[in-house]
Amino acid sequence: MEYQTLKHVYQHPLFSVRDIETVCSAHQFVTLKKGDYLLQEGKIANEYYIIQSGLVRSYVHDFDGNDITTSFIGKNEVAIEVASIFQRIPTKENMQCLTDCEAWIIQYDDFQELFHSIPALTEWGRAWMSFELATLKNRTTEFITEPASKRYLQLIDEKPHIIQQAPLKFIASYLGVTDTSLSRIRKEIVK
């Protein structure tokens, strides 16, 4: 089986060829249909996915029951709910395929065994988690310091596949605006 996607994601200078082969062989290839859930609210995550193709949306329900998009996960990205999988607690998030997807899945127990037996995977995990934490901190800060129009332009620039594949209502909730506000922002950009 060809592991190009996994080799793209699991990059770290400490990995040996054998380490990478061991890590990759612990994953299982899966195909998912549009609408399929990777994880649902109230469940404990027992695996994570690496997306090879397609787009996944992560969302929560606010105190009024509205669904709010928290992230989009696309090609060569990891679909994981960190708090649930590592703290072994029920999640508040849902992860659902917005398109048909191809992905690689690894079970929690298999990951734990590899994590403790391959030092390079431990270092990769530390680097990945640091990057994701910095990304989240950036997003949180930009919600306060940048107007929605700038956040939308940044999304177009950095992740055009989201604009191409996600319904506008999900993009609007991800940006923290109403559908009407996003329509206005889009019209202003076209001008």
- Using the Cα atoms of residue 85, residue 55, residue 189 and residue 174 in order, give the sign of their dihedral: negative
Question: Residue 59 pLDDT more than 60?
Answer: yes
Q: How do residues 5-25 score in pLDDT, each as one tens digit?
A: 999 999 999 999 999 999 999
SS3 per residue for 141-177: HHHHHCCHHHHHHHHHHHCHHHHHHCCHHHHHHHHCC
- What pLDDT score was predicted for residue 1? 57
| Single-letter amino acid, residue 98 | L
What does pTM read for this prediction?
A: 0.91
Q: How do residues 26-48 score in pLDDT, each as one tens digit?
A: 999 999 999 999 999 999 999 99
Any idea which fold 4-118 has?
Jelly Rolls (2.60.120)
Percent of the chain at pLDDT > 90 equals 94
Q: How do residues 85-109 score in pLDDT, each as one tens digit?
A: 999 999 999 999 999 999 999 999 9
The β-bridge relationship of strands 47-53 and 56-61 is unpaired
**Bridge partners, 105 (sequence order):** 28, 49
Which structure tokens are listed for 159?
């992740």
- Summary count for the chain: helices (H), strands (E): 9, 8
